[in-house]
Structure 1
Amino acid sequence: MDYSKYEVVIIGGDHYNTLWTARSLGAVSIKTFVIVWAPKISKSFVCTSKYVNKYRIAHDEEEVLNILTDNNCQEKRVLISSSDQAAEFVDKNYDILRNKYYLAGCDATKGKLNHWLDKKNMLDLAKEVGLNVAYSSCVDLSKGFDIKELSDIPYPCLIKPELSSHGSKNDYRICENSDELSIALHSLENVCNQVLIQEFLKPEYEATLTGISCDNVQIPTVVHKLRTCTDLQSLGMIVFSKLDNDVNNIISTSQIESLIEKMGYKGCFSVDLMHANGKTYFLEVNLRTDGTMYMSTSAGVNFPLAWVDYCLFHKQSNLCLKKPIHAMTEISYVKYLDYKHPLRCMKEWFMTDCYSIFSWHDVKPFIFKFLYAIKNKR
């Protein structure tokens, strides 16, 4: 198949997820037009990639919409979201964009994807299909709250914005008692209206399933999080991991398939899981391309390409892992380097098959990111 005459539009942050979406498509000669949506930057490390044919940096929602609607392209193109913010934006503007772009979404209907990204709706449906979900409760801060009415909450608990795009991981809090919970909720009143309060479980291990939903749901890979970031703001983010196809030993795929089907979702997705207290718990589903794509693409499972094939040719690819690999988010690895165990660190470096930013086939993004980080520390 000669893909060189096709162009795909990618929207996302200045992040390795956006970078690897472009790399995954560029590797098969698909042209990429990348819209980096980032309020405070003028230069993007993603856009230095040789796989980015055209790019624009957008600072707000209006600018993104103008870029998407002002084009003169006669052919309908595939539009891929690589961040929660982008996925919610596309869903919000579904009716405006659907005639010019092939879009991921739920039931091909405006607003449905954002309905399921609301964590309360998401967790309720997860329980309905039989998945284990930690205790959770939603609080609308705009209506005020009485801490005495939250007496059934187990401690410690984790609080976070109910919609990921309405805050950031800097807004996460762990509370050990009701006094801390009250202070934390008040601190978020000017950040977001709805917050989710969940029982804070200490994981024995964490995993992320990666898949795609076309005519049916495929979940060909699972990422085992061997090491994760330790601070609250980066909770659960991968430092070092292994990707393989041993999905069914983590969880019943039929439950995940049922979850995606009931959402009516078509597109790439991932599901975050945690094993604690002898159970595997559902944490959340991401209805977009996942940040672990540098692993799956490196292992021969090209999710963005499979989505393009489905949109343009209604062809459903049979995705199969070529071989298990070890992967590293190299900047986070250095940040959280375990200096007490140098031999283990050396072993992990030598075991690593792929990195989140560095690639011998496309070195400019890593060089730019590295030099930019040094410049900002001066």
Structure 2
Amino acid sequence: MVRNKVIVLGFNHINALGIVRSLGEESIKPICVLYGSKSGMIFSSKYPSIVVHVDTVEEGLKFILDNFLNECLKPIIICSNDETASIIDKNYSKLKNDFYLPNAQIDGRITALMDKIIISEVAEQFGFVSPKSVLIDKNDSIPDDMVYPCFTKSIMTIKGGKKDVFLCGNKVELADALKKVRSDKILLQQYIDKKNEICLQGLSINSGKQIYIPFIEKFFRFTKNEFGGYVYFEKFENQKEEFRNNVHKLIEETQYSGLFSVEFLVDKSNNLFFTEINFRHDGFSYFTTTGGANLPYIWCKSLVNNSLEIEDVLLKDYFTGMNELTDFFQFVRTKKISVQKWINQCIKADSHLLYNKKDLGPLFHTLKSFIVLALNKYLLNHK
């Protein structure tokens, strides 16, 4: 039983919704401190005890410090995106005596490890191979030996995110992409013709000395430059021992305590490529709750008891999940699959990120928003 207050700090988005639902299903009503939209998914969920909107992540941290210092039981902070994970990391020394929080023992270490080149170098110590990459200033000349196709990526997600991701087939396309990116420095990365993508969602405590990864996540379908939205899960313990051990060693090397996900690409020849670690709750992590491993709740219990609390966990051998919005827009709206096929697969999926029969508010809010948007568009076009 967790009696401590749990604070979800992050962006008002589906990632935070997964945390809120996972905690709510264990009778924890989290305090949500969110920036972004002033209404939406989290505001419509039945699980939060309170939802506070702030304009910036800095205001969110200030709200927490102003209202939750000197509690009888140390509150637990869970981050839902990279920006909040970074600000908590940079203020670790200031926060550690009054809160349980994700950390890597010293201020700024997590933020440094968000750098894709740095974390790739760490991963190489344990036998993982990363796609070939080169870091350039966006105003630099394009390297003459650049291999195409290639991706442009922000060196750190918090500095550019998905808006800096472009798939470029030649030098002209790359030059055009560099005019659009927001980051001053940009990573040019080898394009991997992927057979699949792999994601490992887990948690660690005691500076990475105790690690729990319940499942390996793979994709039924995906696009060339994005994760897909329709996935399946198998037990991580059934993977090769060397792979499992190397993943554990990698997390331990970071000295990280918190929720995380590790991402890989698999090419058409079954070669594995490490891409990054997300040092915060993963957007698809709610699926693992459906599979029997409620990672946010397990992490909270483990923090309070200073020991990994997984004795009562019963895992499914196999299950499926669907991020309905992502999958619909990637594959139905682009006519890659039929509406009927998508509906059948959506109904049969074991877990969903938006639809939840125990918490229908976020679904109704989203549908209402789409109806209003479509109606406004129709009226605008028929003036």
TM-score of the aligned structures, taking structure 2 as reference length: 0.89
Written as runs of structure 1 = structure 2, the 5 A alignment for 1:203-282 is 203-214=194-205, 215-228=209-222, 230=223, 232=225, 235-236=226-227, 238-246=228-236, 248=239, 252-278=243-269, 279-282=271-274
More divergent stretch after superposition (95-104 vs 281-290):
95-104
Number of equivalent positions: 363
> Percent same amino acid among aligned pairs?
26
- The residue that corresponds to 1:192 in the other structure is 183
Q: CA deviation at 1:183?
A: 3.3
SS of 1:102's equivalent in the other structure is coil
The residue aligned with 1:324 is 318
- Do the aligned residues in 2 keep the contact of 1:26 with 1:32 (CA within 8 Å)? yes
Is the 8 Å Cα contact of residues 201 and 260 (structure 2) preserved in structure 1?
A: yes
Offset at residue 343 of structure 1 (A): 5.9
* Structure 1 residue 203: Cα displacement: 0.7
Separation of aligned partners in 1, 2:256 and 2:55? 28
Q: 1:163 aligns with which of 156, 160, 167?
A: 156
Q: Which of 20, 23, 44 is 2:40 aligned to?
A: 44
The equivalent position to 1:134 in structure 2, one of 131, 134, 158, is 131
Alignment counterpart, residue 177 of structure 1, candidates 145, 152, 170 = 170
Instruction: State the AA in 1 paired with 2:111.
Output: N
The reply on whether 1:53 has 2:49 as its aligned counterpart is yes
Structure 2 gap segments, 5+ residues each: 377-383
Instruction: Kindly provide the amino acid, as one letter, of the partner of residue 328 in structure 1.
Output: M
What letter corresponds to residue 101 of structure 2 in structure 1? L
Give the CA RMSD over aligned residues: 2.1
Whether the 8 Å CA contact 2:7–2:76 is kept in 1: the answer is: yes
Q: In 2, are the aligned partners of 1:135 and 1:198 still within 8 Å (CA)?
A: yes
In structure 1, C-alpha distance between the alignment counterparts of 2:337 and 2:158, rounded to whole Å: 37
* Cα distance between partner residues in 2 of 1:322 and 1:137: 41
Within-5 A mapping of 1:337-348? 337=332, 338=335, 340-341=337-338, 344-348=341-345
Aligned-pair distance for 1:202? 1.7
C-alpha change, 1:350 and 1:60, in structure 2 (3 Å) is closer
- In the alignment, the residues of structure 2 paired with residue 270 and residue 130 of structure 1 have an alpha-carbon distance, to the nearest angstrom, of 18
Distance across 1 between alignment mates of 2:151 and 2:47: 40
| Residue identity matched to 1:226 | F
Contact 1:244–1:321 under 8 Å retained in 2: no
> Using a 3 Å threshold, how does the CA distance of structure 1 residues 153 and 94 change in structure 2: closer, same or farther?
same
1:146 corresponds to 2:141: yes
The gaps in structure 1 that reach 5 residues or longer are: none
8 Å CA contact 1:250–1:280 kept in 2: the answer is no
CA-CA distance at 1:332 after TM superposition: 2.3
Greater alpha carbon shift after TM alignment, 110-119 vs 89-98: 89-98
Cα distance, 1:245 vs structure 2: 0.7
Deviations 1:49-73 (A, max 9, x none): 1111111111113311221110145
Q: What SS does structure 1 have at the residue aligned with 2:21?
A: helix
Matched, 1:285 2:259: no
Which TM-score applies when normalising by structure 1?
A: 0.90
Deviations 1:241-261 (A, max 9, x none): 111215615981112111111
Identify the residue that residue 300 of structure 1 maps to in structure 2.
Answer: 292
Query: Aligned to 2:82, which of 60, 84, 94?
Result: 84
